[in-house]
Amino acid sequence: MADYGNDRQKKRRLTKDGDYVDTSKPTAFFKPYSGRDWTISVAIPGSVLSTCRRDDQRTGVVSHIARALSVFSIDEVIIFDDSHPDTRARNVDPASYTGDVDPCGYLDHLLQYLEMPPFMRRTLLPLHPNLKQAGLMASLDIPSHPHQTDWLPYCEGVTTTGMPKGGKGTLVDVGRREPVTISHEVPPKTRITVQIDENDPSKAEPVDPSTPRTEGGYYWGYSVRRCGSLASVFEECAYEGGYDLSIGTSERGLPIPEAFPDKKKRESANFQHLLLVFGGPRGLENAAENDPELNGLGIVKGRTKELFDHWVNILPGQGSRTIRTDEALFIGLAGLRKLWDGK
């Protein structure tokens, strides 16, 4: 029988300075860096669900997408409609199941559901036909989702109707045994991000939702933005100055090593807001073809690549005829991660 202690010792990693690294816990929970103000956004089309015929297939795809976004610490996901304008969903009943009539709305609903800490879902997201298979989706297990074995200085919470002991302020449920008190008056059933008082864990103060990332260095989940077309992914960007580096994916693009050789990789790492855009089963060229604005500009077919700073093929020589978008996310993000790894 192998000696467990010796075997474990061999598997311990060293830093460049020769210090041992604790690999027993995920770095997402223990500040891999001291805050970051740069962001990574991913855009996906509603057609990612077009090959699904059953609800369990749809929830499986959404679950894989959400896991990819979380594993690679993506800050924003944009869902854009790449269908033909004549076939787009109209007058959809928001209380009905939308997986087969409004895929963009369905993606939006389920991705928001998965990103939200589980303890507040019942309060903020009521029962809905879209969520009938939600129990089959994998947990994201990200730092903003509370865990009994971890204590973080930031929490996501939902305000309650209870009255604080002092009579002032607002009680916030943060997924712990007891709520915390903030000094602000906030209406019930409002989701907020709070920073816990170091000297009194029963008190907290509201902070901007980006603060855990920019000041604490924690991955704090993704925001969801819905767009009516490929062009609006760029036009409706919430960041001042827009995305300063954009990458489109296509089997007609350059392989990642050619698109980003070592010198260009260092130059590209200077971005502030990176956008990665993935196509559906018929590619980004089809999304441009179905976008009236891009059609008017003549950006269709082979000219679709002109929308982006880089046009890449994430997996040349693929063995299957097709790569599903939820698969492409894992492949592409793994291959492109070198652009921001260590940034």
Residues 210 and 256 in one domain: no
Nearest to 70 by CA among 272, 218, 248, 247: 218
Residues 260 and 324 in one domain: yes
Q: Picking from 177-181, 233-237, 260-264, 295-299, which range would have the lowest pLDDT averaged per residue?
A: 260-264
Residues 297 and 327 in one domain: yes
The residues, any chain, with a CB within 8 Å of residue 229's CB and separated by 6 or more, are 80, 81, 82, 287, 290, 291, 292, 293, 294
Q: Would 22 be classed as within a structural domain?
A: no
CATH number of the CATH domain containing 197: 2.40.50.140
Residues 166 and 64 in one domain: no
List pLDDT tens digits, range 212-262.
999 999 999 999 999 999 999 999 999 999 999 999 999 999 999 999 998
For residue 341, what pLDDT band results from cuts at 50, 70 and 90? confident
List pLDDT tens digits, range 84-128.
999 888 889 989 999 999 999 999 999 999 999 999 999 999 999
Q: E strands of 69-165, at which residues?
A: 76-80, 154-159
Residues 247 and 335 in one domain: yes
Report pTM.
0.89
Question: What's the pLDDT score for residue 322?
Answer: 86
Question: CB-side exposure of 116: number of CA atoms within 13 Å?
Answer: 22
**Residue span of the structural domain in which 202 resides:** 154-214
Q: Would 277 be classed as within a structural domain?
A: yes
Residues 190 and 320 in one domain: no
Nearest to 140 by CA among 41, 222, 226, 213: 222
